[in-house]
């Protein structure tokens, strides 16, 4: 049984709102669920005027917090980015800014 959802699913405002806003999924995750492109999902999110609340507290900008996540907890840059709702490059930039590296 396939886990892909039909294209009519992401065209349903209630379903898309639940996935994007309530479940806080990223466009890429919704696209994967529906076997659709990110652009297609973005188009429907825009059409329905769905907007996530802007995060006002950015943990990754705190040196101690970022060090703990990256070095102590050994999380990947992508895991931290996903958790914070930002792009991978954002975490890369803050790690460089703080001089945080892992010793292998």
Q: Tokens at residue 35, please?
A: 């076997």
pTM: 0.50
Residue 3 pLDDT level (bands cut at 50, 70, 90): very low
Please tell me the distance from the alpha carbon of residue 101 to that of residue 40, in angstroms, as a whole number.
37
What count of other Cβ atoms lies within 10 Å of the Cβ of residue 50? 14
Between residues 11 and 53, which one has the greater pLDDT? 11
For residue 1, is pLDDT > 70?
Answer: no
Residue 51 — very low, low, confident or very high, per pLDDT cuts 50/70/90?
A: confident
Q: Is the pLDDT of residue 15 over 90?
A: yes
User: 44 with 16: CB under 8 angstroms?
Assistant: yes
Q: Give residue-wise pLDDT tens across range 65-79.
A: 999 999 999 999 999
């Amino acid at each position: 049984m396939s886990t892909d959802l039909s294209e009519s699913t992401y065209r349903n405002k209630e379903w898309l709102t639940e996935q994007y806003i309530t479940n806080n999924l990223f466009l890429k995750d919704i696209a994967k669920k529906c076997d659709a492109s990110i652009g297609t999902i973005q188009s429907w999110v825009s059409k329905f005027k769905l907007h996530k609340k802007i995060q006002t507290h950015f943990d990754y900008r705190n040196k101690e917090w970022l060090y703990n996540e990256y070095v102590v907890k050994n999380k990947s840059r992508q895991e931290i980015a996903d958790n914070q709702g930002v792009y991978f490059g954002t975490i890369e930039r803050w790690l460089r800014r703080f001089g945080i590296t892992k010793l292998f």
